């Protein structure tokens, strides 16, 4: 058997990885290849999946590259995989949104914004590894500060936090669509 191509090696590495693999990590795993060659191979793989309209895509998410099934296959894949999709309570979603948009943030700041105790919610989000402890704030009492994790980026299919919708995007969802008034067309009249 001939030695495998760089594209095949990278594809195999990404296939067996359960988390996104960064370009730095791929370069580290492949010392016989320079960074530019690895980057080019990743791009070629990505283009190949897109051109073939394959059932999987190579997606840049959470600071790395990961093979993922295309969303259009979900109705078919759910027949095989009987797992329940991740469900979040309203309080978990609110807290997660606050952490995502305001990080780094302390529990006290979250509770001020939400108006309720968030200890149990933060514990749950930490257990699900959607948020992480980033350190301690340099103020009296040295409260813990929280931020989102790589798992958060993976779950919400974000390359980085810049992929979060802006306030303008969110507000535009509430706006009623504006329809133009069109004059009646003289169909069937002469």
Which of the residue ranges 4-8, 73-77, 141-145 would you say has the lowest mean pLDDT?
A: 73-77
Q: What pLDDT, on a 0 to 100 scale, did the predictor assign at position 175? A: 67
| Domain end (from 79, 103, 135) | 79
Q: Is residue 129 part of a domain?
A: yes
| pLDDT band at residue 30 under the 50/70/90 scheme | very high
Backbone angles phi, psi at 71, to 5 degrees: -60, -30
Same domain, 72 and 117: no
Backbone angles phi, psi at 27, to 5 degrees: -65, -40
Residues 94 and 162 in one domain: yes
- Rounded to whole angstroms, the Cα distance separating 36 from 40 reads 6
Compute, in degrees rounded to 10, the torsion defined by CA atoms 85, 89, 95, 97.
50
Question: Full-prediction pTM beyond 0.75?
Answer: no
Residue 57, token pair as written in the block: 């895509």
User: Are 10 and 58 part of one and the same domain?
Assistant: yes
What's residue 133's pLDDT?
92
85 inside domain? no
127 within a domain of the structure (yes/no): yes
Q: Give a yes or no: residue 162 inside a domain.
A: yes
Residue 142 tokens read as 């040295």
Count of structural domains within the chain: 2
Q: Give the C-alpha separation, 122 to 99, whole Å.
A: 10
In a domain, 97, yes or no: yes
CA distance 19 to 33: 22
Q: What is the pLDDT of residues 89-107, one digit of tens each?
A: 888 888 999 999 999 999 9
Phi, psi of 81 (to 5 degrees): -95, 115
Do 162 and 96 lie in a common domain?
Answer: yes
Q: Which of 79, 108, 129 is the last residue of a domain?
A: 79
75 and 94, same domain (yes or no): no
**Domain CATH number, residue 99:** 1.10.10.10
Q: Is residue 175 part of a domain?
A: no
Does residue 51 sit in the same domain as residue 115? no
Residue 131 has pLDDT above 90, yes or no: yes
**pLDDT > 90 in the chain, percent:** 33
Residue 159 sits in which domain range? 90-167
pLDDT category at 37 given cuts 50, 70, 90 is: very high
My answer on whether 103 and 74 are in the same domain is no
Beta strands 131-136 and 144-148, pairing class: antiparallel
Same domain, 11 and 73: yes
Given 55, 79, 103, the domain boundary residue is 79
Same domain for 161 and 98: yes
Whether 95 and 154 share a structural domain: yes
Phi, psi of 75 (to 5 degrees): -60, -35
Residue 30 lies in a domain: yes
Give a yes or no: residue 156 inside a domain: yes
**Secondary structure (DSSP) of 155-181:** HTT-SSGGGSPPHHHHHHHHSPPP---
Quick one: 22 and 64 in the same domain? yes
The pLDDT score that the predictor gives to residue 156 is 85
Question: How big is the CA angle at 134 (ends 133 and 137), to the nearest 5 degrees?
Answer: 105
């Amino acid at each position: 058997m001939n030695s495998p191509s760089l594209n095949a090696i990278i594809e195999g590495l990404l296939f067996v990885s359960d988390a996104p693999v960064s370009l730095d990590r791929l370069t580290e795993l492949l010392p016989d290849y320079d960074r530019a060659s690895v980057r080019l191979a990743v791009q070629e793989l990505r283009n190949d999946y897109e051109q073939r309209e394959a059932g999987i895509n190579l997606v840049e998410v959470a600071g790395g590259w990961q093979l993922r099934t295309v969303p259009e296959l979900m109705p078919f894949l759910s027949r095989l995989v009987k797992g329940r999709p991740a469900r979040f309570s309203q309080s978990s979603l609110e807290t997660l949104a606050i952490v995502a948009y305001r990080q780094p943030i302390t529990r006290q700041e979250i509770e001020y914004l939400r108006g309720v105790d968030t200890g149990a919610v933060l514990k749950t989000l930490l257990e699900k590894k959607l948020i992480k402890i980033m350190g301690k704030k340099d103020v009296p009492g040295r409260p813990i500060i929280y931020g989102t994790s790589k798992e958060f980026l993976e779950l919400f299919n974000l390359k980085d936090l810049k992929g979060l919708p802006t306030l303008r995007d969110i507000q535009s969802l509430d706006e009623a669509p504006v329809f133009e008034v069109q004059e009646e067309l003289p169909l069937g009249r002469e």
